[in-house]
Amino acid sequence: MATVASSIPSGGGLGTSHRRVIVASSLGTVFEWYDFYLYGSLAAIIGKQFFGGLNDTSQFIFALLAFAAGFAVRPFGALVFGRLGDMIGRKYTFLITIVIMGLSTFLVGVLPSYATIGIAAPVILITLRLLQGLALGGEYGGAATYVAEHAPNGKRGLYTSFIQTTATLGLFLSLLVIWGCRNYLGKDAFEDWGWRIPFWVSVALLGVSVWIRMQLNESPLFQQMKAEGKQSKAPITESFFSKNGKIALLALLGATAGQAVVWYGGQFYSLFFLTKTLGMDPNQADIFIAIALALATAGFIFFGWLSDRIGRKVIVLGGCLLAVVTYFPVFKGLTHHVNPALEAAVAAAPVTVTADPARCAFQFDPVGKATFKQSCDIIKSALAKKGIPYVNAPGAAGSVATVAIGGATLNSFEGAALSKEEFKTQSDAFGKQLSDALKNAGYPSAANPAQINATMTVLLLTYLVLLVTMVYGPIAAWLVELFPTRIRYTSMSLPYHIGNGWFGGFLPFTAFAIVAATGNIYSGLWYPVIVAAMTFVIGLLFLPETKDVDITK
């Protein structure tokens, strides 16, 4: 771990050279996050374009899995590019990463769809997502390390907080471009071909980013270390197979895992929750999220600055604890203010599926060809497609499943022995009965724009983003200060990207899978709540406060 200074200089104000470093590093990272999050924001459309051989539910699930694939390889990118950054330098390493990211994103925009080239389309798409993930795995650690090594003692929280804003600003920029294209072209044209335009824009952003980063000089601490011949010859071994390995593990479990689920819960899962669960129009949901981001983004700078005064640990862990305590009431509040008709219907006429548990399949079709023909599966498939929450009740062994909607009870049917035509006929008839029963019980098909309380919705979303700023604003400074200069790039990158790439990146898929299995629209929140609680406990007990660490020694 870096050495604690006996007398830490506070440093002067934000000079011209420091501004140049922060702006250049931050702008390049904004563009890289823009590239990465375009996919997440357009997951539903991309599912239709590149997974057209699957059913509607599997399309969206596979789109989320492809999104998560980019996160899955981020730790490997951290190892590859972190090692390069510790051996050859910060500047050129994170210059390479932005080129890989920009070109991969542009190619997504020109990739033919499943309807044109068949199975090659999703294969190439996932390959490009993997390249994006590898590039991002090397990007963040380089930018954060580079800025931190230019910052004076006592200012690292403030300086690195500008890097922390880039993920949110990149998401904001992607939402803004998507919103503009969708409104200019119209919904149908945008979903047909216009969704490609935001990916094409990345070429221009790539050119700007490369030009900006070419103007930078190497980190002064790295230059000094190189001049003194103190570079690490085996950064990976020194980082994870020595005493630093324990610090890296604690940094993962006691800092970045909880930070990640709060980040993705507050910015991505909330967007999915608004559109897929509550039925809000995607265009309106994008606007609400963008407003919340605009209102709360200054929190990154504030909490970075505050961490220089009261410490990194108390702020990051405080954000995790607030998420644990408030996530359930906040998301229930979103339901109340976005789709009160759904909330009222669930309270007045709850839906209960009674079935033999042994005859209920998990509603996930990995190849898009399975047909769920058992009576339990027929009911749950229909409810999942309509976004209706339900509770499960055990039925007698071998019994035909039923669904109770308020005072009405509908019997399902067994379809295994029916012909394709007979099964379709009975499915259509059951579907109509179910739709009529739900309508009579007051269940809406989508959120009614006239019933949405825009002010309260934006306030709740802003609160979620403020929690993001608490956990994310000081995290870069905290990680940088945990490790020595010779292995800093590698050491901080891996726990950061395992935390954010695996714990955070898999949040949407994991949460939706939990919801699909239980029928409870809030049950997916248990994933971020449990992870954030784990981080709070481990970080509180085992990780040190680092704000007074002098990384120059």
User: According to the per-residue pLDDT averaged within each range, which of 20-24, 41-45, 233-237 is highest?
Assistant: 41-45
Question: What local confidence, expressed as pLDDT, does residue 8 receive?
Answer: 34
DSSP state at residue 4: B
Element (H, E) at 408: strand 408-411
Average pLDDT over residues 110-127: 87
CA proximity to 374, closest of 338, 340, 399? 399
Confidence band (pLDDT; 50, 70, 90) for 3? very low
Average pLDDT over residues 453-458: 96
Which tens digits make up the pLDDT trace of 382-408? 887 777 889 889 999 989 999 999 888
Least confident of 147-156, 447-456, 539-548: 147-156
Over 363-400, what HEC string results?
A: CCCCCCCCCCCCHHHHHHHHHHHHCCCCEEEECCCCCC
Q: At which of 440, 462, 484 does a domain end?
A: 440
Q: At which of 380, 408, 440 does a domain end?
A: 440
Residue 233 covered by a domain: yes
Which tens digits make up the pLDDT trace of 193-206? 999 999 898 888 78
CB 528 within 8 A of CB 298: no
Residue 549 covered by a domain: no
Residue 157 covered by a domain: yes
306 with 351, same domain: the answer is no
CATH of the domain at 401: 3.40.30
124 with 183, same domain: the answer is yes
424 with 507, same domain: the answer is no
Which tens digits make up the pLDDT trace of 466-520? 999 999 999 989 998 988 877 777 888 888 888 887 888 778 778 877 877 788 8
CATH of the domain at 123: 1.20.1250.20
51 with 165, same domain: the answer is yes
309 with 385, same domain: the answer is no
Residue 547 covered by a domain: no
196 with 113, same domain: the answer is yes
Q: At which of 440, 471, 501 does a domain end?
A: 440
Residue 491 covered by a domain: yes
Please give the structure tokens belonging to residue 389: 């929450």
Which residue(s) pair with 404 in the sheet? 352, 409
415 with 485, same domain: the answer is no
Q: What are phi and psi of 355, to 5 degrees?
A: -160, 160
Domain count, the chain: 2
**CA 548 – CA 206 distance, rounded (Å):** 37
Give just the sign of the alpha carbon dihedral 341, 342, 344, 349: positive
Specify the residue for token string 């983004």.
297
Residue 10 covered by a domain: no
Which tens digits make up the pLDDT trace of 298-317? 999 999 999 999 999 999 99
Please give the structure tokens belonging to residue 394: 């055990």
Residue 11 covered by a domain: no
* CA angle, residues 238, 136, 85, in degrees to nearest 5: 35
Which residues constitute the domain of residue 312? 16-339+448-542
285 with 231, same domain: the answer is yes
327 with 396, same domain: the answer is no
Give just the sign of the alpha carbon dihedral 326, 332, 333, 334: positive
Which residue(s) pair with 353 in the sheet? 392, 403
Least confident of 28-32, 415-419, 428-432: 28-32
Question: What local confidence, expressed as pLDDT, does residue 222 receive?
Answer: 62
321 with 426, same domain: the answer is no
93 with 227, same domain: the answer is yes
**CA 194 – CA 482 distance, rounded (Å):** 45
Report the mean per-residue pLDDT for the chain: 83
Residue 49 covered by a domain: yes
154 with 237, same domain: the answer is yes
